[in-house]
Amino acid sequence: MDLKKLIAGKLRAAARDAPARPAPAAGRVPPGQRAVTHFPVLDLGTRPRIATADYRLQVDGLVERPVALSWSALLAFGVVAVPSDFHCVTRWSRLDTAWSGVRVRELLAQARPAPSATHVMAHSAEGYSANVPLARLLADDVLIATALDGRPIPVEHGGPARLVVPSLYAWESVKWLTRLELMAGDRPGFWEQRGYHNDGDPWREQRFA
């Protein structure tokens, strides 16, 4: 994989020709970002197609009760609509993105994180990963999203299910989510190993290490 070409392609995709919308209310867009109305598609070049009948999600690692969920078992936790703003490290923000899904904290409550668990590695079906502090995943707006703008999430945006962590840059919101691995301590995910910031807070412009 040529990472320089990959990153350059991500930047080109983010800059494509949909216009920025008028400036939103103060405080909605982090420093260095611009609000857009479209939804750029950025990935590593592989888009797994997973039928809901075949979908499985694991919650394991440092938990008392490892969880393995089918699609119907995931939805049984209760689907909620939680609009949020979505900030990409390539300098665009999509405001009021209408996600629906299951709150991650509901799954974690069933899995019962061990006292030593401090971080989570989110794994994707295509081999991607992102590390997130466990405390971040307990927020009200953190979802395993199953719908976008009132419809099932299309494959290019990570369907059938993806992680959504609005408080961090979007590379942490792993597409095609298949596993949440609880860990004692931190370790870098895919982009963190390749020069991205280990935290990724858009309000602090934590883009690169």
CATH of the domain at 197: 3.90.420.10
Which residues span the domain enclosing 164?
Answer: 3-43+55-204
- pLDDT tens by residue, the chain, 209 residues: 565 566 556 556 545 534 444 445 568 999 999 999 999 999 999 999 999 999 999 999 999 999 999 999 999 999 999 999 999 999 999 999 999 999 999 999 999 999 999 999 999 999 999 999 999 999 999 999 999 999 999 999 999 999 999 999 999 999 999 999 999 999 999 999 999 999 999 999 999 99
Q: Would you say residue 31 lies in a domain?
A: yes
Q: Would you say residue 50 lies in a domain?
A: no
Q: Would you say residue 209 lies in a domain?
A: no
Q: Would you say residue 48 lies in a domain?
A: no
Q: How far is CA 116 from CA 9, 109, 110, in A?
A: 39, 15, 17
Q: Would you say residue 27 lies in a domain?
A: yes
Q: Would you say residue 49 lies in a domain?
A: no
Rounded distance, CA 101 to CA 165, Å?
12
Q: Which amino acid appears at position 12 of this protein?
A: R
Whether the Cβ atoms of residue 168 and residue 122 lie closer than 8 Å to each other: no
Q: Would you say residue 28 lies in a domain?
A: yes
Q: Would you say residue 178 lies in a domain?
A: yes
Rounded distance, CA 115 to CA 117, Å?
6
The number of distinct structural domains making up the chain is 1
pTM, two decimals, is: 0.90
